[in-house]
Chain A
Amino acid sequence: MRPQQPAQARPDVRARQSGQARPDGTCTVTFDGRPLEARPGQTVAAALWAAGVTAWRTTRRAGRPRGVFCGIGVCFDCLVTVNGSPNQRACLVPVRPGDVIGVQEGTGRDDD
């Protein structure tokens, strides 16, 4: 069994800014404009938790803060904008060096 035609070929649009991993296995990403230390491959949620951040989204009606809830990709509460791409699940998406992680407000698409 082999994969049938890929549905869509899309260039990797991820912005790689400052980004290389250091010899000790850590790298720098930014969250809301400030630098954070992270480990490439750990999830965005784990990197944020490790930095003491537990909320990175505000809801679109009441503007309430949210972060991880289910931790396994089912609840979509941990939606986050990574490198300009909104609605990524922080509990699934791995960190890459130089990632620009932003607080996501509402639908995540209001700013363009």
Chain B
Amino acid sequence: MAKRLTCDVVVVGAGMVGAACAWYAARASLDVRVVDRGPVAGGTTGAGEGNLLVSDKGPGPELELALLSARLWAELADGLGAAVEYEPKGGLVIASTPAALSALTRFAAGQRAAGVTADPVGPDELRSLEPYLIPGVAGGVRYPQDAQVMPALAAAHLLRASGARVHTGRTVTGVLRAPDGTVRGVRTDHGDLHAPAVVNAAGTWGGDLAALARVRLPVLPRRGFVLVTEPLPRRVRHKVYAADYVADVASDSAALRSSPVVEGTAAGPVLIGATRERVGFDRSLSLPAVRALARGAIGLFPFLAGVRALRTYAGFRPYLPDHLPAIGPDPRAPGLFHACGHEGAGIGLATGTGRLIAQALTGKAPDMDLTPFRPERFDTEGGESA
């Protein structure tokens, strides 16, 4: 006989993606519980910058998800905007040289065709948009759809607004399966939670949760350092970064590639980030990484040379081999849904992901095609699955 259900959905992970899944699922009238071994926003969410970017994505499923997410973030901001420090400040991508500018211009043309607002900006206008920008750059593109939130606040407020019960400090030790393989909830170190649906929003640790359900999801960590300066008046107005960032996100190189986004925050400090390194879960300080961030930031805003960095921190961005997240039901474990592997874009893509998961949970037609995000897409014929 079936156990009495605790709730309709268990979301594993109290980070940004888990919070968005909980919120949209609760709005779809589902009874949701969120469980996390740590505190709210204790993982990658707490170590992120809060970039809601469309500017760094080329045409394709990730951009489509980013555009959906940007619309949803703007909706959410109606109620929660100030609390989560939402700022629709727009992005500004800088090309230092004519060659970089022509590459950027081509890239932006492709984005426009995919629905992105991308306005070319000449050198003079750049200076009026960003008065402290280094003089002499070739040009840039402005992306009004780029925005920013404070990620930990966003996750915490969204969780609270969802009304979901949140169990922090509770570790999932197993995924409960019926004899026919159907997922029935999770086992935790503080008892079982019975539910017909489990959402894997465990971020960098999403592969471990998948393994508990005996399915394979090759999520790997990618380390990112962020530099935080002393509090400043608003000298950096947009999210500003150099054009080589675009090529970097999809890079397969394991070596350090720095692509600093420089931005002011509502609280005062300028954030500079992030590096992207594949070094496993090594949190130790990398001076070459922070040096690269500092150089990149000063290269855009020379006044920063005399500004002090108060701290730096590393987070682990979860990525899958094709750099697309896993979103949707797992046919290998009916009742299991994945919402992880967003790499450095999880804050921005959280809202769209949450909405798509809620649609999948309630059997509604999804706002976009989930095929590119299928969680089982890495299973090869050799049957590597765990």
* Residues of chain A whose beta carbon lies under 8 Å from any beta carbon of chain B: 8, 60, 87, 106-107, 109-110
Contacts and interface: CB of A to CB of B under 8 A. Distances in A.
A107 B232 contact: yes
A107 B308 contact: no
Contacts of A8: 305
15 contacts: A8-B305, A60-B231, A60-B268, A87-B230, A87-B308, A106-B233, A107-B230, A107-B231, A107-B232, A107-B233, A107-B268, A109-B232, A109-B233, A109-B235, A110-B233
Interface string B341-380: 0000000000000000000000000000000000000000
A25 B10 CA distance: 74
B236 to A, nearest CB: 13
A87 B229 CA distance: 13
Contacts, number: 15
Contacts of B233: 106-107, 109-110
Contacts of A107: 230-233, 268
Given A87-B308, A110-B233, 4 more contacts: A8-B305, A60-B268, A107-B232, A109-B233
A109 B232 CA distance: 7
A35 B308 CA distance: 30
Interface string B210-249: 0000000000000000000011110100000000000000
Contacts of A110: 233
Interface residues of B, number: 8
A107 B232 CA distance: 6
Nearest to A10: B306
Contacts of B305: 8
Contacts of B235: 109
A60 B232 CA distance: 10
Contacts of B308: 87
Interface string B260-296: 0000000010000000000000000000000000000
Interface string B301-335: 00001001000000000000000000000000000
A98 B231 CA distance: 29
Contacts of A60: 231, 268
A110 B232 CA distance: 8
A71 B233 CA distance: 27
Nearest to A110: B233
Top-5 shortest CB links A-B: A107-B231, A110-B233, A107-B232, A107-B233, A109-B233
Nearest to A85: B306
A9 B113 CA distance: 49
A87 B231 CA distance: 10
A16 to B, nearest CB: 20
A65 B305 CA distance: 29
B378 to A, nearest CB: 45
Nearest to A111: B233
Interface centre among A60, A87, A106, A109 (most CB of B within 10 A): A109
A8 B235 CA distance: 24
Contacts of A87: 230, 308
A53 B233 CA distance: 27
A12 to B, nearest CB: 14
Nearest to B308: A87
A15 B307 CA distance: 20
Interface in B108-156: none
Contacts of B231: 60, 107
A63 to B, nearest CB: 14
A97 B101 CA distance: 51
Nearest to B310: A76
Contacts of B232: 107, 109
